[in-house]
């Protein structure tokens, strides 16, 4: 065993790691909100959420709830973009062109909302706020 | 899953993960073998992600042998992802009757492939192997590089390679991989 870590220390270490990854993916998606970046962001959100679910007992309940709500909004928005990306790929593969302009317009609209949300996240230095809110900052640095 | 702060992280993992595996297999059998409508597979897909991400959270305590189990799970997740992709396409293109017929045809094939993947995943006492492995003390393997740790894992690990995995080069419409982020 790698030193038989106490559960709380282990939870804090894992959550720090997941939040660092999430912050990296947010910055990456903010720079270029393409399908790959959005996919990776969604994966890191799910991982972080699952960590928060599993180790939630170690963190302030109200803060964890607030973060869950924020993540849920982001997942909803990225889901709308992802659905259009998949459908556009499908149309290209099956050589249909009829619906592509509509889907592209819809994607652009959702992407604008997504970019706005990401700007708010990055402007408010969300990872530092969450690290403080979850009391993770005592043990690790931040992105 | 209730964690016990009085126990170490590894002891907690050995207690909760075998139970989680049992519940996961039960959910899979119900969702996939139960011949339910494809829409109901969405919930199982989310369970698969949650199970995988929970295992990954404890991965440092198990060492590289856990990779074999995670690989099987990723491959199943790939098959679930294919079904989900076509459900998403159906959501945004259902108004076009011709396209809908085409999408439904592919979706049926993907569901059949998923059932096949599930049967391979849940075969030959797989649940027992999962539970035995997750309940075991793997402290000697933890932190070791993969080559040293794989010895002795073969008997416990899932036996059959699966049809497709996002992270093993399988092509979904999204063609994205989650492995790039694996382990954070």
For the CA atoms of A74, B50, B67, A127, the dihedral, rounded to the nearest 10 degrees, stands at 40
Contact yes or no for A46 and B53 at CB 8 A: yes
Residue A111 lies in a domain: yes
| CA distances (Å), origin A66, targets A24, A47, B8, B156 | 21, 17, 28, 41
Q: Shortest Cα distance from B131 to chain A (angstroms)?
A: 19
The pTM of the full predicted model, rounded to 2 decimals, is: 0.84
Residue A112 lies in a domain: yes
pLDDT band at residue B160 using 50, 70 and 90 as cut-offs: very low
* CB nearest to B142's CB, from A2, A11, A106: A2
Q: Token digits for B39?
A: 């829409």
Contact yes or no for A85 and B174 at CB 8 A: yes
Residues A68-72 have a mean pLDDT of 97
Contact yes or no for B181 and A84 at CB 8 A: no
Residue A105 lies in a domain: yes
Domain coordinates of chain B in residue numbers?
9-181
**By CA distance, what is B13's nearest residue in A?**
A7
pLDDT band at residue B158 using 50, 70 and 90 as cut-offs: low
* CB nearest to B89's CB, from A17, A58, A90: A90
B124 vs A42: which has the higher pLDDT: A42
Give the phi and the psi of residue B99 in degrees, each rounded to 5: -65, -40
Q: How many domains does chain A have?
A: 1
Quote the domain boundaries for residue A94: 7-133
Q: Are B117 and B71 in contact (CB under 8 A)?
A: no
pLDDT reading at B180 higher than 60: no
Residues of A in contact with B1 (CB under 8 A): 54
Helix residue ranges, H only, chain B: 9-28, 41-57, 59-62, 66-93, 97-121, 126-135, 146-149
* CB nearest to B89's CB, from A21, A44, A86: A86
pLDDT reading at B169 higher than 50: no
Residues B163-184 have a mean pLDDT of 41
Residue A69 lies in a domain: yes
Contact yes or no for A46 and B49 at CB 8 A: yes
Per-residue pLDDT reduced to its tens digit, A6-47? 999 999 999 999 999 999 999 999 999 999 999 999 999 999
Contact yes or no for A17 and B184 at CB 8 A: yes
Residue A140 lies in a domain: no
Decide if B91 touches A, using CB distance below 8 A: yes
| pLDDT in the model for residue B162 | 36
Q: What is the CATH number of the domain that holds A24?
A: 1.20.120
Contact yes or no for B10 and A4 at CB 8 A: yes
Residue A2 lies in a domain: no
């Amino acid at each position: 065993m790698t030193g038989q870590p106490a559960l709380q220390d282990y939870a804090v270490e894992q959550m720090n790691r997941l939040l660092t990854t999430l912050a990296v993916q947010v910055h990456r998606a903010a720079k270029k909100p393409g399908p790959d970046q959005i996919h990776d962001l969604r994966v890191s959100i799910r991982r972080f959420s699952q960590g928060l679910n599993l180790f939630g007992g170690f963190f302030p309940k109200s803060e964890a709830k607030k973060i869950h709500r924020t993540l849920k909004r982001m997942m909803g928005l990225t889901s709308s973009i992802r659905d259009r990306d998949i459908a556009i790929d499908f149309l290209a593969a099956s050589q249909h062109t009829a619906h592509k302009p509509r889907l592209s317009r819809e994607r652009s609209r959702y992407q604008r909302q997504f970019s706005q949300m990401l700007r708010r996240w990055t402007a408010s230095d969300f990872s530092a706020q969450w690290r403080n809110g979850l009391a993770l900052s005592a043990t690790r640095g931040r992105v | 899953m209730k964690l016990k702060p009085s126990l170490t992280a590894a002891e907690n993992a050995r207690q909760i993960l075998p139970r989680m595996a049992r519940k996961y297999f039960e959910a899979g059998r119900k969702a996939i073998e139960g011949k339910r409508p494809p829409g109901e597979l969405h919930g199982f897909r989310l369970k698969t992600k949650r199970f995988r991400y929970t295992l990954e959270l404890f991965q440092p305590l198990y060492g590289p042998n856990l990779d074999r189990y995670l690989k099987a799970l990723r491959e199943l997740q790939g098959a679930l992802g294919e079904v989900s992709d076509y459900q998403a396409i159906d959501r945004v293109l259902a108004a076009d009757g011709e396209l809908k017929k085409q999408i439904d045809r592919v979706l049926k094939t993907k569901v059949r492939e998923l059932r096949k993947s599930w049967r391979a995943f849940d075969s030959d006492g797989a649940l027992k192997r999962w539970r035995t492995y997750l309940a075991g003390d793997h402290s000697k393997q933890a932190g070791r590089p993969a080559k040293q740790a794989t010895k002795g894992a073969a008997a416990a690990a899932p036996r059959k390679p699966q049809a497709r995995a996002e992270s093993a080069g399988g092509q979904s419409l999204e063609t994205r991989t989650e492995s790039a982020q694996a382990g954070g």
